[in-house]
Amino acid sequence: RFLDLPAELRMEVYKLMIPHDLIISFQQTIIDENDPDGFVIVSETKKSKNAILYTSNTYLFIINSQAHSPLSLRSPQIFGLWSHPTHLPLLRNLPTIHLSISLDHSPGVEHWTVTRQRARLAYFVEILNQHANDKTRKSLLQHLVINVSCIASARHNPKTPSPPLPLPSIPVEKFMFALESLAALRGVQNVQITGVPDWFARCLQLCIRGRGGDVREVVWPVVEVVRKRGVYRKARTKWVTTRKWYQPMLDWREFAQRNGVVMPDGVDALW
């Protein structure tokens, strides 16, 4: 019988049947919670088969900055086929994850790029930690590759067939602090980050590896503003932060200085 074969030989047979040494990604989509069969191959395989499927492949998650429906900020679409509630716990089994982060931005609405990516990456980390810090098992994530691309495009009507026109790209420094949410991820041994300035990539790597200590929050001043909606409505005062959309919530300058990370000239302009 097959099960009577030595374990090493069975594993070699499994490798002929199960995808391995691949980069696997899933299209961003909405999964019906009443249809859990989208990933039936995982739920029906045994431990030895799962070991090949999970540990010998790299799983790619593509996270863009475009509007999602019906949920945009905490969008389940970023997980693709994993977004079904019965599949999310399986994320803790992935030792190698590749995040492809697209900073899509259009003139006049650049702030939405940062707002969406900050929220989506925070949601991604929240789900990973949620299913890694349970009482039974911890996350196996040991290798994390983060690739960041900054893409400018003209605003267009999604109902029209013509694609968005390319525009001069805004420097990635204006958007990179959207990645701050990843600082909440800890204990990943190997981290590679490309597409952002070297000093920020180095700081983020230290955080995700669990080294260098915590990053302190920036205490931004607040100002009182008067807002009025409509001619016949009463004006109201509100305290709002002076932080601009492209500025950080965490004090990366202090963290870099504390850990000996050299920062380039002119970086203070981001504060």
Sign of CA dihedral 135, 140, 143, 147: negative
Pairwise pLDDT comparison (165 vs 58), residue with the higher score:
58
Taking residues 184-208, report their average pLDDT.
94
Q: What is the pLDDT of residues 98-135, one digit of tens each?
A: 999 998 887 778 889 999 999 999 999 998 888 776 66
Tokens 């991604």, residue located: 124
Instruction: Judge contact between 235 and 182, C-beta under 8 A.
Output: no
Taking residues 17-43, report their average pLDDT.
56
Cβ burial, residue 62 (10 Å; 0-12/13-18/19+): middle
Percent of the chain with pLDDT over 90: 32
Would you say residue 153 has pLDDT above 90? no
Q: How confident is the model at residue 241 (pLDDT cuts 50, 70, 90)?
A: confident
Coil, strand or helix at 33? coil
Taking residues 70-97, report their average pLDDT.
86
Nearest to 50 by CA among 89, 76, 78, 83: 89
The pTM score is 0.79
Domain segments of the chain as ranges: 2-216+251-270
